[in-house]
C-alpha cells in the first residue's frame, strides 16, 4: 500500500464517486482498499486470538464444557476466515483479470458485511467474470490447505476449524461451479447468478454442512 497518497484517509474516502479524474478514482479506490484491509485484519486477529485462547484453555483443563466452547469458537472463526478469504479471492481474481471492480464505500456497521467491492458487469467481459469467480473458490480451498498444513490437528476445536473451512469451500464450490459452467457456455453472468440463487435454495449450504460434520467426526476418530 506504499503508493497511497499522503493526505488523510478521511479526505481520500470522501472523494465523490462521480469524480471524473482517473487519478481521483484511483486515490479513492486505494484509500477504501486500505480501510477495508485494516478492518478485515482486525477481525482476523481478534477472531484467531479468541479461538486460540479457547483452544489452549480446553487443552489445559480437558473439561468437556470448555472443549465444547472451543469447538463453538472454531465454528464461528472458521466461517469468518472462510468468508473473508472468499471475498478477497474474488477481489484478487477481478483485479488480476483487469476488471472494473471498485472498492465499496464503507457504509455497513463493522461486522455486518464483508462485501468489499462491486463487479461492474456492464463494463467487464465474460473472461473477467470467470477469473473473478474462480478466485473465490481458489481462496477457500487454499485456506483449507493452509489449515491442514499449519494446524497440529490434535484437539477437537482444531479439527472443527479445519472442517468448517472445508464445509464452506464445498458450499462455495457447489453453488458457483454451475455458474461458471453456464457462463462459459454463453449464458449471461448476472442472470445466471440470479437463476442459481433461485434454484439453489440453501442446498449448497446443506451439502457443505453435512460434509464438514462428517469430516469432523471422522477426523475425531483418526487424529485423536
Cell readout for 31 is 484509500
CB 168 within 8 Å of CB 78: yes
Q: Picking from 88-92, 106-110, 182-186, which range would have the lowest pLDDT averaged per residue?
A: 106-110
Q: Confirm whether pTM is higher than 0.85.
A: yes
pLDDT of residue 2 exceeding 50, the answer is no
In this structure, is residue 189 part of a structural domain?
yes
45 in a structural domain:
yes
Residue 1: is its pLDDT beyond 80? no
In this predicted structure, the answer to whether residue 12 has a pLDDT above a threshold of 80 is no
Q: For residue 103, list its beta bridge partners.
A: 117
Residue 117: strand pairing partners? 103
> Tens digit of pLDDT for each residue in 64-107?
999 999 999 999 999 999 999 999 999 999 999 999 999 998 75
Is the separation of the CB atoms in 104 and 134 below 8 Å? no
Give a yes or no: residue 1 inside a domain. Answer: no
The better pLDDT of the pair 135, 115 is held by: 135
Question: Does residue 98 sit within a domain?
Answer: yes
- pLDDT of the residue at 55: 97
Residue 9 has pLDDT above 80, yes or no: no
Per DSSP, the residues of 140-180 read: HHHHHHHHHHH----SHHHHHHHHHHHHHHHHHHHHHHHHH
pLDDT per position as a tens digit, 142-161: 999 999 999 999 999 999 99
CA distances from 8 to 14, 15, 26, 28, 40 (A): 10, 12, 15, 11, 20
pLDDT (mean) for 112-121: 86
Q: How far apart are CA 54 and CA 200, in angstroms?
A: 35
Which band of pLDDT confidence, cut at 50, 70 and 90, is reported for residue 108?
low
The 10s digit of each residue's pLDDT in 33-58 is 999 999 999 999 999 999 999 999 99
Q: What is the band of 212 on the pLDDT scale with cuts at 50, 70, 90?
A: very high
Domain count, the chain: 1
Residue 116: partners with Cβ closer than 8 Å, 6 or more residues away: 36, 40, 87, 88, 91, 103, 104
For the chain, give the mean pLDDT: 89
Structure confidence at residue 114 as a pLDDT band (50, 70, 90)? confident
The percent of residues above 70 in pLDDT, for the chain, comes to 87
Flag whether 198 is in a domain. Answer: yes
- The answer to whether residue 2 sits within a structural domain is no
Residue 145 domain boundaries: 9-222
Amino acid at each position: 500500500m506504499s503508493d497511497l497518497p499522503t493526505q488523510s484517509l478521511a479526505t481520500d474516502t470522501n472523494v465523490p464517486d462521480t469524480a471524473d479524474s482517473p487519478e481521483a478514482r484511483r486515490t479513492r479506490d486505494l484509500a477504501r482498499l486500505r480501510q477495508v484491509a485494516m478492518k478485515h485484519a482486525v477481525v482476523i486477529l481478534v477472531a484467531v486470538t479468541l479461538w486460540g485462547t479457547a483452544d489452549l484453555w480446553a487443552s489445559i483443563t480437558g473439561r468437556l464444557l470448555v472443549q465444547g466452547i472451543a469447538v463453538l469458537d472454531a465454528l464461528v472463526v472458521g466461517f469468518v476466515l472462510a468468508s473473508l478469504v472468499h471475498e478477497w479471492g474474488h477481489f484478487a481474481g477481478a483485479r488480476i483479470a483487469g476488471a472494473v471492480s471498485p472498492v465499496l464505500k464503507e457504509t455497513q456497521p463493522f461486522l455486518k458485511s464483508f462485501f468489499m467491492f462491486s463487479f461492474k458487469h456492464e463494463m467487464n467481459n465474460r473472461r473477467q467474470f470467470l477469473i473473478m469467480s474462480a478466485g473465490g473458490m481458489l481462496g477457500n480451498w487454499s485456506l483449507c490447505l493452509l489449515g491442514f498444513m499449519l494446524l497440529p490437528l490434535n484437539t477437537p476445536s482444531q479439527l472443527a476449524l479445519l472442517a468448517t473451512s472445508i464445509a464452506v469451500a464445498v458450499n462455495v464450490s457447489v453453488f458457483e461451479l454451475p455458474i461458471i459452467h453456464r457462463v462459459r457456455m454463453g449464458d449471461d453472468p448476472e442472470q445466471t447468478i440470479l437463476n442459481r440463487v433461485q434454484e439453489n435454495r440453501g442446498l449448497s449450504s446443506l451439502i457443505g454442512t453435512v460434509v464438514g460434520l462428517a469430516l469432523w467426526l471422522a477426523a475425531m476418530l483418526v487424529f485423536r
